[in-house]
Structure 1
Amino acid sequence: MLNQLKTPQLLSVLLSVLLCVMCVQTVWASSVEDKINEVFPDVKPDSVKESQIKGLYEIVKGNEIVYFDPITGYLIFGEIVSPKEKKSITAERKRQLREVKLKNMPLDKALKFGSGKHTVVEFTDPDCPFCRKAAAYLASRSDITRYVFLFPIPQLHPKAADKAKFIFCAEDKKKALEDVMSGKYDSEAFEICKDPKVEELLKDHKTIGESAGVTGTPLLIINGTFVDGANMPLIEKLLSDDPAAASKDAAEPKK
């Protein structure tokens, strides 16, 4: 039949077919999100898109990526590894997503210390022992520009939010941060700040952390590479003269 149509008619038919396919794809994508909501109502994805494997969908939530099969309704946790390059496609996607988050992060809201060649973004809880370990090391370096977001987790550390507000209110915020992180105010009394602007700033820090996918502290972003926890060997490598190897180690899937 197509070979009997004239060129204008043929183009019209092909255009109609294309529009129909696009319409079906839109409805299908919507139905996938509906299916996820139906099967896993507690999962609120940041984004849903078809993965490199046809019919398998990528779900992004915070810094995590899982996969969804709309036919069976199964959620799949793990890495997709390309057969040719033998590298993790999942890890590469996580790196891309984190780069976007870092680019859009409002660093002007952070507490900024130093002006060194290395850039460190730090999400920290004032009462977290692992945060204190990382903070002590970072405070000892003079070659970093440090952006600190205070991210108290009250379920674990009931006094952490008050200590965060104390730091915000202090005239010398760097000293206040170091004193708090050293444990000085674990037993010593400190003034609890009640400034509404400080309350709002703490909310901003929490919101920024949640947008970056922070679920635990410390979370560090060193020269663009994310480090979960006080992984001191990796932190030291990323701040060394040869951070490329450390970046590669951080991007590889954990075994």
Structure 2
Amino acid sequence: MTRTTSPIRSIGLTALMALATLAQADEATIRKTLAERMPNLPPIDEVSRTPMGGLWEVRLGTDVLYTDDGGNFLIEGSLFDTKTRTDITKARIDKLTAIDFASLPLKDAMVQKQGTGARKLVVFADPNCGYCKRLERDLLKVKDVTIYTFLYPVLGPDSTAKTKDIWCSKDAQKTWRAWMIDGVTPPKSAGECDTAAIDRNSAMGRKYRVQGTPAIVFEDGSRSPGAMPSNLIEKRLADLQKKG
């Protein structure tokens, strides 16, 4: 028995193919136009349609810009969906910057267990960062959590020196909190000390584009830049527990 293709089905397939070809053409046009007109623009990793007609997302690493069908205009800013009241740009960047928590080299971090330590979070911190000190005080109030702190000196030579003194002390975590909370200057490191972990932390921070401290990473891979009040940290941890 010979089957014939429905004319309507054939038209539908043709239309889909035409749309796909048009989308490819628009993407190629956008890439070509932006490359020619903005040679200093970082390499474009991805060009994709947004929910808004005629607007395209241009992804540069974990940065997101927007443009029209021809690449004639470039927009930097947030795209909001007024119907759902969601920040589409933020949701996209959150997804792009998510970190696989299980893959983090926790052996290179200082560890603080509070209560049962059942919940976990990671902090990238610089010893001379005022907001990091504020966060450290707030973290004292969070119960049943294990905090992994990656020393991440980004504020200059003194930060690097203090980081080494802390890491090379007899009890790095204790020395860290004494400095961050009580202002007790870390003792100068003496003798040989393996500081390769600090170099690895710096490389990891660059890889994940941790551009400031503190930076918090939760178990689901989501990130929160800057100091975060203890009540909001507690809420995020509780929400993750509910999701299981």
Name the TM-score, length of structure 1 as normaliser: 0.68
Q: Using the TM superposition, give the Cα deviation of residue 120 of structure 1 relative to its aligned residue in structure 2, in angstroms.
A: 1.6
Q: SS of the residue aligned with 2:167? A: helix
Structure 2 residue 85 is matched with structure 1 residue 89: no
Is the CA contact (8 Å cut-off) linking 1:46 and 1:60 kept in structure 2? yes
Q: Which residue of 2 aligns with 1:160?
A: 159
Query: CA separation in 1, counterparts of 2:141 and 2:94?
Result: 28
Q: Could you tell me how far apart the structure 2 residues matched to 1:223 and 1:104 are?
A: 8
- Contact 1:125 1:152 survives alignment (8 Å): yes
Query: SS state of the match for residue 117, structure 2?
Result: coil
State the AA in 1 paired with 2:27: A
What TM-score results when the alignment is normalised by the length of structure 2?
Answer: 0.70
d(CA) in 2 for partners of 1:106 and 1:180?
25
- 3-state SS in 1 of match to 2:99: helix
Question: Pairwise mapping of residues 106-121 of structure 1 onto structure 2 (< 5 A)?
Answer: 106-111=104-109, 112-114=111-113, 116-121=117-122
Deviations 1:175-221 (A, max 9, x none): 232244344337x64448663xx23x223212322333321111113
- The one-letter code of the counterpart of 1:106 is L
Once the two structures are superposed, the pairs formed by residues 135-174 of structure 1 within 5 Å of their partners are 135-139=136-140, 141-153=142-154, 156-174=155-173
CA distance in 2, matches of 1:242, 1:168: 28
Equivalents in 2 of 1:107, 1:80: separation in Å?
A: 35
Deviations 1:38-88 (A, max 9, x none): 415243455443322344332345654332336254321222222432322
Residues in 2 aligned to 1:73 and 1:151: alpha-carbon distance in whole angstroms: 40
Counterpart of 2:184 in structure 1 is: 184
Secondary structure class of the residue paired with 1:184: coil
Residue 88 of structure 1 aligns with an amino acid whose one-letter code is D
Gaps of 5+ in 2: 240-244
- Number of aligned pairs? 229
Task: Report the counterpart of residue 215 of structure 1 in structure 2.
Answer: 211
Query: Following superposition of structure 1 onto structure 2, how do residues 1-255 of structure 1 map, counting pairs within 5 Å?
Result: 25-26=23-24, 28-38=26-36, 39=38, 41-45=40-44, 47-61=46-60, 64-69=63-68, 71-98=70-97, 100-103=98-101, 105-111=103-109, 112-114=111-113, 116-139=117-140, 141-153=142-154, 156-181=155-180, 182-185=182-185, 189-191=188-190, 195=194, 198-199=195-196, 201-222=197-218, 224=220, 225-232=222-229, 235-240=230-235, 243-244=238-239
CA contact (8 A) 1:118 1:239 kept: no
> Within 2, Cα distance between the matches of 1:105 and 1:76?
34
Q: How far, CA to CA, are the matches of 2:90 and 2:74 in structure 1?
A: 18
